[in-house]
Amino acid sequence: MNKALRIIVLLIIAALLSFLALFLARVVIETRGGGDFTGPVQSFEECVAAGNPVMESYPRQCRSADGQLFVEDVPPVQDPRVGGGTFGGCAIAGCSGQLCVSADMASEIITTCEWRPEYACYQGATCEMQENGECGWTQTPALQQCLANPPQDI
């Protein structure tokens, strides 16, 4: 092989190795949190934009390269009946519509967003002032039977 051909082959190999090194460096930067966002991470959105891993939880969580944990702000899932009105001074509250409380307190109540089979029983129940003067679910035979044996297929 003549000297000029060797030089050309070496230059091509050097160029390919350079491109490979740049590609691998970019992959490492992206997987370690150096994505599109530069600067200190201050929010969930910035954490995601920086290319940090997002945990598939609810709400989603993102851990930054320096170990900070950011939680996604999500509006609460609402039952269409929740917050939709009052019933004799009572209102349906709770993420799953499982509570019957004073209308004055309904906007202040925060619950976890979980679903339990017995919550389905309250979908057709009546939230109203009870004989003791407090808000509650009217304990009809149908509601009592449902709560004793809640539907399991929901």
Most confident of 50-59, 72-81, 103-112, 134-143: 134-143
Closest CA to 153 of 117, 129, 124, 127: 117
Instruction: Give me the mean pLDDT over the 109-132 stretch.
Output: 89
How does pLDDT run across 52-86, given as a tens digit for each residue?
A: 999 887 778 999 988 899 988 876 544 444 445 56
Of residues 38 and 135, the one with the higher pLDDT is 135
pLDDT at 79 (0 to 100): 44
112 pLDDT tier (thresholds 50, 70, 90) = confident
Instruction: Give me the mean pLDDT over the 99-117 stretch.
Output: 87
The DSSP symbol for 94 reads S
pLDDT at 80 (0 to 100): 44
Burial grade of 143 (CB within 10 A; 0-12, 13-18, 19 or more): middle
Instruction: Give me the mean pLDDT over the 96-123 stretch.
Output: 88
How does pLDDT run across 25-48, given as a tens digit for each residue?
A: 666 655 554 445 567 899 999 999
Instruction: State the amino acid at position 89 in one-letter form.
Output: G
131 pLDDT tier (thresholds 50, 70, 90) = very high
pLDDT at 136 (0 to 100): 94
Assess contact for 103 and 89: CB atoms under 8 A.
yes
Ramachandran angles phi, psi of 19, nearest 5°: -65, -40
For the chain, give every domain's residue range: 3-71, 90-148
Mean pLDDT across the chain: 82
